[in-house]
Amino acid sequence: MNSSESGSSRFAELIKELGVPLDAELLGLALTHRSYAYEHGQIPHNERLEFLGDSVLGINVTDYLYRHFPDYAEGRLAKLRAAVVSSVSLAEVARSLGIGQLVKLGHGELTTGGRDKTSILADTTEALIGAIYMTDPSGAAKFVHHIFDPLVDRAVKMGAGLDWKTSLQEIAAAMESDPPEYRISETGPDHDKRFTAVALVDGRTFDPGMGHNKKQAEQHAAENAFRVLDAEVNGAEQPD
């Protein structure tokens, strides 16, 4: 991996830790957004690799679901897969791996916060999976399973709605409490806002959740509240 492209991101470190080969030319292509390509003489960009990576991601997540949850009906498997491979989920993976700092963007995208846009992060993550697959198909499977199998396991625990707000609503109902409410605050300029949410259940508040939009912040706040209440109601262990 070219050091100028890999930077010091967690993505580069993970590729090295897993021993997954990644062709430098394909890496560069995977990180080239169409906005950058258009500003530099219509050079190739990452959308074909994104198309490939989408399929590679889907088949590997499907394989894990099919093998590990033999009692689940097709409908539930489909919902779990949709949650795990959603743009929101892929963008969260990208943020955790520092992929945004690596993407080559055009001036317009750079000035409007493109490095943290959910759609760009999700598409680039799929393109990188495609690039790994083109370098070594088995390496792509290894990479996808390492990242996404834990997300499947987490989604299984999140209730019928497959999101933390629904899970929190369910446990509040089980406690015979009123539906959860959320207090939202925001900071930062219009092109780079940060939102903070606090969940309220039965007059109690919990650790805040933060995100780049209201929905994301509410989800994180709901997760914090759910984990506390689930531990109290069901004796579940809270993470360190």
| Reduced 3-state DSSP string for 146-190 | HHHHHHHHHHHCCCCCCCHHHHHHHHHHHCCCCCCEEEEEEECCH
User: Can you read off the two tokens belonging to residue 229?
Assistant: 């209440």
Indicate the DSSP class of residue 195. E
Annotated ligand binding at 126? The verdict is yes
User: Can you read off the two tokens belonging to residue 233?
Assistant: 């109601």
Active site residues: 54, 126
Annotated ligand binding at 63? The verdict is no
CA–CA separation, 122 vs 85, rounded Å?
9
Annotated ligand binding at 186? The verdict is no
- b/e per residue, 163-186, with b = 16+ CB within 10 A? bbbebbbebbeeeeeeebebeeee
Binding site per annotation, positions for Mg(2+): 50, 123, 126
